[in-house]
Chain A
Amino acid sequence: MIEVDGLSKRFVVRHGRFRRERHVVDAVKEISFRVERGELLGYLGPNGAGKSTTIKMLTGILVPSAGRVSVAGLDPSRRRIELARRIGAMFGQRVQLWWDLPLVDSFELLRHIYKVPADRYHTQLARFRDVLDLDPFLHTPVRQLSLGQRIRGELTAAMLHGPELLFLDEPTIGLDVVAKQRVRDFLVEINRQEGVTVLLTTHDLGDIERLCSRLLVIDHGSLIWDGAIAQLKERYGGERTLVVDLEEPAPPLDIAGARVEKVDGPRQWLRFRGSASELTAQVAASARLVDLQVQEPDIEEIVRRIYAGER
């Protein structure tokens, strides 16, 4: 569905008022990956890492500086219009609906922009009204919608023409828990039921953990991870933490195969690999143990480690 090969984007930025200095910024540096039809893929990275730039090259908004891109078999920037019929895009921070008009008017306009046949439009809209519960605000001007309602409207707008591939840039940004859940349910539904390939960028690790089976991580313009989330956890999260409460404060425990990360009074945090019960036995042998707890690394922690450059 998507093939990216050595893709780069370089911006030339000029600074200064009089003596203009040229700065070359490599927003995306030679990244390569493939996405198969029907995948639901997360694209993660800190601010300014190159996520949006990548998406913009995949959708034909930006022309790449170097490398090869093929989306649905097309070169995005050269065959933008053809591609636009087959993909949907939603940018969480941009408004594509008509601000002063009732929500349904925007859908009607988009139907004509995308030349969606009337009967198909009506079945599609009926479905989204149901799944995203649009009816309470379908005739409300967009400017009066809450953020959550507007995002549901934007998702409908991106999906009305029945795209095979959906790009979402920060779809859940600023949403409350309930609204986020609704958006996630919707994405799972279109992915499973219709086989729509979904690529989403996000800062929200909850989105990633609940939705995506595969994750791409980009930092400073380079792809630093491409693989399943389970693998990522295994590789970066192989170490778990055993929290032990001792009867009284003690110096850091000295146990083979574990290292003490933190000591707080009688409580100590031990990072370890392998079996927890073996470690527990060793701790119990060297100190008087009151309580213990094993912590699995969460994805947030893992991503923090990746960003920090831990390999």
Chain B
Amino acid sequence: MVEPVLLWRRLVGAQVRSQLQYRVSFALDATGAFLISFIDFLAVLVIFHNVHRLGTWSVREVAFLYAFSSISFATTDLLIGHFDQFPQKIRDGNFDILLVRPRGTLFQVIGSDFQMRRLGKALQGLLVLGFVIGSLDIPWDAGRVAMLVVMVPAAIVIFGSVWVVGGCLVFWTTDGGEFTNAFTYGGNFLAQYPVDILSTWLRRFLAYIVPLAFVCYFPALYILDKPDPLGLPRFVDFLSPVVALVAVAVAGSVWRFAVRHYRSAGG
């Protein structure tokens, strides 16, 4: 169990060293990522400049959701964000190289890239979270703290699983990066807003099919002590870790199935 983590650190370390070979480019990228994510948050503020509540949600509560989603998304992005480069590997056949090495392919893909500049976005999420927690009056008991600790890893696993499944499509389409983006960036966007403002079918879709509602929405209901406008039983708020485990199992199976359909490229 420890050895793969050490190897992952080595692989990631190699990527970081590579990126530091181009220092100016790295500095520009990191600053850019930081600024872009602030513009993202501005969008939330612009909406609330005009409307003061979204359903039963106040500005600060939505900001709370936003901060959590951002941190989870940014960390996922940091760990496996290069999945959007993955179609390129499939198209040019460089996936071949991973297949002749004695390691799991998913593990190798995850270890094949690590974009330090994405730290910029995680940093921004942390800033917003600090600000929001300070301004929201949350009674921090053991249950809420535990939820806070568990929800981010669970969210990362759910985001990650959705991305992996989205990424698997390129095994068939060879070039489908944009479709995958709908799951990654689109998923982040949806997770930033309270699910109850969405139409019924979209809500059901997010709760039962692509479980993004479990990323932030249900855990946030618990921490903010809000009644579920959808009327689901209270225990659903605690299901995120279970959903995360199911999601990762599904993603693993889809991945294994997909790799057997890899067609490689000429040459």
Contact = CB atoms under 8 A, between A and B. Distances in A.
B7 A113 contact: yes
Interface string B93-108: 1101101111110000
Contact of A98 (B14, B102, B262, B263): B14
A99 B18 contact: yes
B94 to A, nearest CB: 6
B264 interface: yes
Interface string B13-34: 0100111010000000000000
Given A52-B266, A62-B263, A100 B18 contact: yes
A89 interface: yes
Interface in A51-93: 52, 56, 59-63, 77, 80-82, 84-85, 87, 89, 91, 93
A114 interface: yes
A101 interface: yes
Given A11-B263, A77-B260, A113-B103, A94 B18 contact: no
Interface string A114-127: 11000000000000
A168 to B, nearest CB: 12
A56 B96 contact: yes
A101 B11 CA distance: 12
Counting chain A residues whose Cβ lies within 8 A of the other chain, the interface size class is: 20 to 34
B102 A63 contact: no
Contact of A52 (B7, B19, B21, B267): B267
B14 A89 contact: no
A112 B7 contact: yes
B226 interface: no
A32 interface: no
Contacts of A82: 102
Contacts of B104: 81
A84 B264 contact: no
B10 A112 contact: yes
B263 A114 contact: no
B182 to A, nearest CB: 22
Nearest to A98: B14
A145 to B, nearest CB: 15
Interface of A: 11, 48, 52, 56, 59-63, 77, 80-82, 84-85, 87, 89, 91, 93-96, 98-101, 105, 109, 112-115, 141
5 contacts: A81-B103, A100-B19, A101-B18, A105-B14, A112-B7
Given A60-B99, A94-B93, A96-B97, 8 more contacts: A52-B266, A62-B263, A63-B260, A77-B260, A81-B103, A82-B102, A91-B97, A112-B7
